[in-house]
């Protein structure tokens, strides 16, 4: 309550200072995304010692004060509207997806803590940093957080976790440098091979999408390939990525960041894969997402938008384990809503349905919860053209 009052005063005060007639509303609009982001970053800073410490048992008092922080985080996250992100990210369903997941996860972490599930609560909070990463790895325009991750002492951070925090606070250069040294650490490969692989992929995202620098990434991967500790299955992927980066670095013929350019990229990627979720073509897929996200920042007609959503869905299905957790289904759904009862929406529905069926399949068959089934049915009615 106190906090809200302060915000109202600040906004009104700003309106008065600038002598702005139409007052608070306008001022609120132009500053609020940045402010909300700084607000989020403050919340992250407040919960950091809880999330990344090794401590596993807490007194009732400590639990209570941590829950107060988590609840404040959830409130701040919940208040950010996706529309406010439009000037930076355009009409991109990823924005709403990320903001919603973020609020839900923080609330889940709070609930878990209230039931004494400390480890789980911390784990969920770590995935929250992945939501910051997802958006922040699409565009690096804008500002940084006002605090330094490195100033915190006594935290137990894996290189991957530290990278995510650096990107959450938008210290991109620090994140890349940290990865470049961690990826050459043999102990890291041996002790945490899965974490290491995730770090490799984060590095790829950062170097392919933000201020792309294929030569720098290729050089890093050359050194990674020299590591004797590197498992064979990983070296295979890294070799492919390096090849793609080298080709890109030498490619004089720049591919235009257009819908056709993205289509070309996806076709090329598909051509080098041996199975649907094969990761050998992640460089091409990431380059395609970069073009497609950028297109969404410009004004595009519905039919084009639906196509972009379809392609983003297709690509994020492959890139899913990179921390996109079901983002592809959001794109398929947006595609259906964008141009209902068309061939495009039918294609999107087909992929959405398959993905949902797969998601609920197990050794005893497919068990789709009734509410999910009825959601799927109404999307089907919206998507398929009448016969």
Q: Which residues of the shown chain bind ligand HEC in the complex (CB under 6 A)?
A: 33-34, 37-38, 40-41, 44, 85, 88-89, 95, 98-99, 102, 128, 131-132, 135-136, 139, 141-145, 168, 170
Cβ at position 146, least distance to ligand HEC in Å:
7
> Could you give the CA distance from residue 41 to residue 132 in angstroms, rounded to a whole number?
10
Residue whose CB is less far from ligand HEC, 240 or 328 = 328
Angle at 271 between CA 265 and CA 277, to 5 degrees: 90
> Could you give the CA distance from residue 13 to residue 23 in angstroms, rounded to a whole number?
9
Cβ at position 295, least distance to ligand HEC in Å:
16
Cβ at position 256, least distance to ligand HEC in Å:
24
Residue whose CB is less far from ligand HEC, 33 or 324 = 33
Please report where in the chains the tokens 């930076």 appear, as a residue. 88
Cβ at position 141, least distance to ligand HEC in Å:
6
Residue whose CB is less far from ligand HEC, 43 or 329 = 43
Q: Are 258 and 291 in contact (CB under 8 A)?
A: yes
Kindly give, in sequence order, each residue whose CB lies less than 8 Å from that of residue 241, ignoring residues fewer than 6 positions away. Answer: 204, 217, 221, 280, 282, 283
Q: Provide the CA 78 distance to its chain's centre, in angstroms.
A: 17
What the block records as the tokens of 26 is 């306008």
- Residue among 318, 284, 314, 295 nearest 208 (CA): 284
Cβ at position 99, least distance to ligand HEC in Å:
5
Residue whose CB is less far from ligand HEC, 76 or 269 = 76
Residue whose CB is less far from ligand HEC, 167 or 238 = 167
- Residue among 131, 77, 134, 65 nearest 107 (CA): 77
* CA atoms 64, 66, 68, 74: torsion sign: negative
**How many CB atoms neighbour CB 93 within 10 A?**
21
Kindly give, in sequence order, each residue whose CB lies less than 8 Å from that of residue 77, ignoring residues fewer than 6 positions away. Answer: 40, 43, 99, 102, 103, 106
Cβ at position 2, least distance to ligand HEC in Å:
22
Cβ at position 375, least distance to ligand HEC in Å:
23
Cβ at position 88, least distance to ligand HEC in Å:
4
Residue whose CB is less far from ligand HEC, 155 or 376 = 155
What the block records as the tokens of 41 is 């970053």
Residue whose CB is less far from ligand HEC, 89 or 356 = 89
What the block records as the tokens of 177 is 């440098």
What the block records as the tokens of 195 is 């974490």
Q: Provide the CA 182 distance to its chain's centre, in angstroms.
A: 22
- Contacts of 265-271 with C-beta under 8 Å, sequence gap 24+, read 265/291, 266/311, 266/314, 266/315, 269/318
Cβ at position 42, least distance to ligand HEC in Å:
8
Instruction: Give me the residue whose beta carbon is nearest to ligand HEC.
Output: 142
Residue whose CB is less far from ligand HEC, 102 or 283 = 102
| Phi, then psi, of 297 in degrees rounded to 5 | -80, -10
Residue whose CB is less far from ligand HEC, 148 or 303 = 148
């Amino acid at each position: 309550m106190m906090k809200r009052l302060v915000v109202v005063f600040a906004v009104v005060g700003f309106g008065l200072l600038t002598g702005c007639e139409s007052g608070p509303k306008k001022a609120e609009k132009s500053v609020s995304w940045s402010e909300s982001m700084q607000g989020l970053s403050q919340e992250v800073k407040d919960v950091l010692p809880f999330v990344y410490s090794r401590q596993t048992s807490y007194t009732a008092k400590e639990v209570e004060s941590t829950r107060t922080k988590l609840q404040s985080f959830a409130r701040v996250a919940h208040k950010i509207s996706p529309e406010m992100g439009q000037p930076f990210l355009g009409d991109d369903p990823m924005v709403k997806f990320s903001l919603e997941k973020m609020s839900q996860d923080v609330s889940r972490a709070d609930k878990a803590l209230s039931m004494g599930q400390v480890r789980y609560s911390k784990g969920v909070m770590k995935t929250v940093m992945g939501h910051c990463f997802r958006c922040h790895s699409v565009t690096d325009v804008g500002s940084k957080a006002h605090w330094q991750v490195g100033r915190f002492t006594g935290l137990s951070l894996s290189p991957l976790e530290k990278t995510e925090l650096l990107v959450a606070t938008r210290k991109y250069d620090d994140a890349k440098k940290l990865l470049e040294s961690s990826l050459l650490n043999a102990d890291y490969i041996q002790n945490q091979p899965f974490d290491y692989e995730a770090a490799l992929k984060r590095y790829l995202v950062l170097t392919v999408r933000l201020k792309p620098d294929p030569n720098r990434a290729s050089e890093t991967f050359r050194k990674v390939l020299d590591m004797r500790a590197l498992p064979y299955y990983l070296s295979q992927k890294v070799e492919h990525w390096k090849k793609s980066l080298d080709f890109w670095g030498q490619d004089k013929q720049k591919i235009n960041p257009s819908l056709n350019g993205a289509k070309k990229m996806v076709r090329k990627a598909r051509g080098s894969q041996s199975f649907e979720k094969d990761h050998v073509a992640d460089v091409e897929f990431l380059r395609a997402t970069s073009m497609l996200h950028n297109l969404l920042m410009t004004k595009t007609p519905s039919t084009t938008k639906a196509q972009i959503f379809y392609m983003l869905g297709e690509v994020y299905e492959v890139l899913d384990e990179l921390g996109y957790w079901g983002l592809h289904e959001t794109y398929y759904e947006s595609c259906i809503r964008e141009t209902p009862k068309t061939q495009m929406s039918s294609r999107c529905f087909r992929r959405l349905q398959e993905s949902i069926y797969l998601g609920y399949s197990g050794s005893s068959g497919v068990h789709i919860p009734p509410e999910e089934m009825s959601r799927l049915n109404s999307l089907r009615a919206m998507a398929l053209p009448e016969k």
